[in-house]
Amino acid sequence: MHQIDHQVIVTVNGLQESVASGLSMPVFCKTLGYNPRLIAIEYNGEILHRQYWDTTVVKSGDRLEIVTIVGGG
C-alpha cells in the first residue's frame, strides 16, 4: 500500500506555497531553499524562537514571514 502525500497550503512572505504536511520548521525552511541558521521566522503573527522550531509543525493556513539575516560591514 502506498502512502498518500498530503499537501498543505501556507502563506510565506505574502505568497501561497504548497508543501508536504507534517514538516517541522527546519525541514520546511530547507524545502523552500532557506538556510535555517540564517533566518528569523514570524509564525502566525509572533516571532518563533529557535527552541520551538523542531516541535513546530507547519499546518494548512499558517502565515509565516521569513527574514534572511544579511551580514555586512
Query: Contact at 8 Å (CB) between 40 and 50?
Result: no
Return the CATH number at 15: 3.10.20.30
Largest CA distance in the chain: 55
Q: Using pLDDT thresholds of 50, 70 and 90, give the confidence band for residue 58.
A: very high
User: What's the whole-number mean pLDDT along residues 38-47?
Assistant: 97
At residue 62, the pLDDT reads 97
Query: Contact at 8 Å (CB) between 19 and 7?
Result: yes
Question: Is residue 29 included in any domain, yes or no?
Answer: yes
Question: Is residue 2 included in any domain, yes or no?
Answer: no
pTM over 0.95: no
Cell numbers placing 72:
555586512
Domain count within the chain? 1
Question: Is residue 1 included in any domain, yes or no?
Answer: no
Give the residue numbers spanning the domain of 29.
7-68
At residue 5, the pLDDT reads 64
Alpha-carbon gap, residue 9 to 46, rounded angstroms: 19
Question: Is residue 55 included in any domain, yes or no?
Answer: yes
Question: Is residue 21 included in any domain, yes or no?
Answer: yes
Question: For 11-38, what is each residue's pLDDT tens digit?
Answer: 999 999 999 999 999 999 999 999 989 9
User: What's the whole-number mean pLDDT along residues 35-57?
Assistant: 96
Question: Is residue 60 included in any domain, yes or no?
Answer: yes
